[in-house]
Amino acid sequence: MAARSGSPNATNGPSLTLKGYSARSVSDAATAVREIAAAPPDVVLLDISMPGLSGIDALPAIRALALRAVVIMISVTEDAATAKRALAHGAFDYVVKPIDLQYLSRSLEAALPMAQPEL
């Protein structure tokens, strides 16, 4: 989960930290849902394949809990049906592993303004 800079309990991920983001990492989708309910981030990087609940199955709950959060799905496979399903459930983008950090950076930059509250 990418969080706004300076968020409490945020652990800096190496790649995101280089770009000035703070990040929290969790090991499964159920934990992600609980963390997001407790402290909604601006952007969620959500892996599709996780133990237990899949990222696709967690996506509707995450969208309901964090209305302004933008979700970027991450997958090891380039599966058009899964990508369409993720986008239909409200994902902003679908990124395939290995992650192209330049592409992810551009996606994050495009997503962040959408996550900011309206003034």
Q: Which domains does the chain have, with CATH numbers?
A: 2-114 (3.40.50.2300)
Confidence (pLDDT) at 20: 73
Q: Work out the percent of the chain whose per-residue pLDDT is above 70.
A: 82
3-state secondary structure at position 107? helix
Below-70 pLDDT ranges, the chain = 1-19, 117-119
Cα–Cα dist 81/119, whole Å: 37
